[in-house]
Structure 1
Amino acid sequence: MFDATRRFLLTGLAALALAGCAAKAPEGPNGEALQRLAVVTASGEHTFWVEIADEEPERQRGLMFRPPLEADRGMLFQWPGEAPREQSFWMRNTPSSLDILYIDPTGRIVSIASHATPFSEAPIPSNGPANGVLELRAGRADEIGAKPGDKVLHPYFKP
């Protein structure tokens, strides 16, 4: 009897331990679950966890007043229901340099602005229609070999 009870308890503890190790999305600064996104380049698939900015107040605030992003983090700006158009970002009140990737509706990278200057109010154009923008820590696009034409995988983009 003791061995059966012990085996039952050990099995239960093992199941709880495995459940606790299940992949859970990390949380953003406001406790929201981050979403998985991948950038596919010639060097392979590179995973990031992104905050979603899909409403005007979130898009306006972006990464202003925030510390530098971790290497596997980013922010994905979305315009649901809107047609792709020329986009333009700036770095007002953004204290750390960023890479800004402009993305078309199918997930193809239109253009990349590398190492955008912190606090700059100079417009950074997409140089083509885009309906998604991915901001990453400065230098990450080069590190993963991202180039215009590469693919971004996320449910927002429709292949």
Structure 2
Amino acid sequence: MTVTRRQLLKTSLGVSLAASLPLPLLNAWADESRQASTLPLAIHSQEGPHRLDVEVAETVSQRQRGLMEREHLPEARGMLFRFESEQPAGNAFWMYRTLIPLDIAFINGEGRIVAINTMQPCASDTPRECPAYPAGASYHAALEVNAGYFAERGIQVGDCVSVPALAGFCRPDA
């Protein structure tokens, strides 16, 4: 195959343009191709199972982005943050560039909710001015949903979270 001058010029301009872009912008473009997968999830409480479709944030970049800059989250949706190893009780989530109030449930390795917080959007343009919301207990995953979701459904610490597609977390009490 012979390369024409036009193809060579296009390729060289594309490489030059990509090389001149800031690394965070290139990473953002790369992340767009690695969208979080969506899975069904159930929270088993005294009031019955509550089903959600959740985006799963498994990579560092997906977890860092989370639900930033979203103006709306449908009622039966959320985001599940999965970690490879147990996270210390002092590890926290924050609401920098997050536009909607959220509830967060921290989930231990057995699939039980160990802490619940309500987080308010942070209007500051400076990340260090946004409050942090630590779990207060070690955890393996965290689930973010619209603020008020857990209270409205009687979901509380000790309830069971299951993700059938991951064969995961806990089995609800009989």
- TM-score normalised to the size of structure 1? 0.75
Partner residue, 1:42: 46
Partner residue, 1:68: 72
- Distance in structure 2 (CA, Å) of the matches to 1:125 and 1:92: 15
**Cα deviation, residue 119, structure 1:** 1.6
Contact 1:54 1:79 in 2 (8 A): yes
Gaps of 5+ in 1: 1-29
SS of residue matched to 2:122:
coil
**Cα deviation, residue 157, structure 1:** 2.2
Gaps of 5+ in 2: 1-33, 124-129
SS of residue matched to 1:79:
strand
Q: CA RMSD of the aligned region, Å?
A: 1.8
1:107 pairs with 2:146: no
SS of residue matched to 1:142:
helix
SS of residue matched to 2:169:
coil
Letter in 2 for 1:148: V
Contact 1:85 1:131 in 2 (8 A): no
- TM-score normalised to the size of structure 2? 0.69
Identity of aligned residues (%): 35
- Distance in structure 2 (CA, Å) of the matches to 1:79 and 1:32: 14
Aligned counterpart in structure 2 of residue 124 of structure 1, from 130, 133, 153: 133
SS of residue matched to 2:144:
strand
Count of residue pairs brought into register by the alignment: 128
SS of residue matched to 1:60:
helix
Structure 1 residues 33 and 128: CA distance shift in structure 2, 3 A: closer
- Distance in structure 2 (CA, Å) of the matches to 1:32 and 1:77: 10
Partner residue, 1:93: 97
Larger helix percent: 2
SS of residue matched to 1:57:
helix
Structure 1 residues 112 and 62: CA distance shift in structure 2, 3 A: same
